[in-house]
């Protein structure tokens, strides 16, 4: 998804890209009753280990959607490692669940489908994974036209890998259970993000239309800036020419 963004960023920074657990060619770990293997805390530890492996003890993070939820947890759990943070098209997970409306549930129906007990959601996805991914991605603002053919082919390849359907469901099950418990613990303790946080969202996407994105992040962080871009959910592919100046200004600061 970063193929229109990463080359430009690499002119100024060392860019490390990774697939989180269960996506792309990353590991599909065995699931457990608490969904801990797919928690954002576990995935954040993965991200930290990847960066340390490449010699980076402190770094900036740019992340979208599921990866942005991992990035949020990474910055909370390991504040000394994350210098600054840019999150694309998300509000805090707990706030999104607690403020769900009919409009949001209709647009993000998959949030509630994927968290149902196994094996039904994964069985339905696995019956035709390409149809599933084309349906979810293609019904958003820009349709499938937003995706370069090579990128779409890669998404389709990865969703057909063994274990992917279950891993996707476990990611969302974790978000609705163990991840919310971690978030509630942080809120009870008054723990917030202290790094500079920039949030961008698509004005035609459900997140911006259903939530006050900046207000919700200002409840969870001390230094928040951000704005919408005239696109849908997939900012890096729908509007890379708009995203890049924001990213360069933010990370070069």
Give the three-class secondary structure for 203.
coil
Q: Assess contact for 39 and 32: CB atoms under 8 A.
A: no
Considering 38, 182, 233, 246, which one is annotated as catalytic?
233
* 39-55 average pLDDT score: 98
Q: What mean pLDDT, rounded, does the chain reach? A: 98
* 97-108 average pLDDT score: 97
**Predicted structure pTM score:** 0.98
* 184-192 average pLDDT score: 98
Residue 94's pLDDT is 98
The token duo for 175 is 């978000």
Is 65 considered catalytic here?
Answer: yes
Is 46 considered catalytic here?
Answer: no
Considering 65, 77, 83, 186, which one is annotated as catalytic?
65
Contacts 24+ apart (CB under 8 A), 34-38: 34/177, 34/178, 35/170, 35/173, 35/174, 35/177, 35/178, 36/174, 36/178, 37/170, 38/167, 38/170, 38/171, 38/173, 38/174
The token duo for 4 is 């229109």
Q: Convert the pLDDT of each residue in 162-171 to its tens digit.
A: 999 999 999 9
């Amino acid at each position: 998804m970063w193929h229109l963004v990463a080359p430009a960023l690499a002119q100024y920074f060392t860019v490390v890209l990774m697939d989180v657990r269960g996506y792309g060619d990353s590991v599909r770990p065995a699931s457990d009753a608490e969904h801990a293997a797919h928690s954002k805390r576990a995935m954040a530890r993965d991200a930290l280990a990847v960066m340390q492996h490449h010699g980076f003890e402190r770094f900036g993070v740019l992340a979208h959607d599921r990866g942005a939820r991992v990035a949020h947890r990474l910055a909370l759990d390991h504040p000394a490692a994350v210098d600054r943070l840019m999150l694309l098209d998300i509000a805090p997970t707990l706030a999104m669940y607690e403020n769900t409306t009919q409009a949001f549930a209709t647009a993000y129906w998959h949030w509630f489908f994927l968290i149902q007990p196994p094996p039904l959601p994964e069985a339905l996805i696995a019956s035709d994974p390409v149809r599933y991914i084309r349906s979810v991605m293609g019904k958003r603002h820009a349709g499938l036209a937003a995706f370069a053919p090579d990128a779409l082919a890669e998404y389709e390849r990865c969703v057909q890998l063994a274990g992917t359907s279950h891993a996707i469901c476990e990611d969302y099950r974790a978000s609705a259970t163990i991840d919310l418990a971690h978030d509630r613990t942080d809120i009870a303790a008054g723990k917030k993000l202290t790094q500079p946080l920039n949030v961008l969202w698509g004005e035609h996407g459900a997140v911006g239309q259903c939530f006050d994105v900046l207000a919700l992040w200002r409840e969870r962080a001390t230094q928040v800036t951000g704005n919408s871009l005239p696109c849908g959910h997939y900012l890096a592919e729908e509007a890379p020419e708009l995203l890049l100046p924001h990213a360069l200004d933010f990370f070069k600061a």
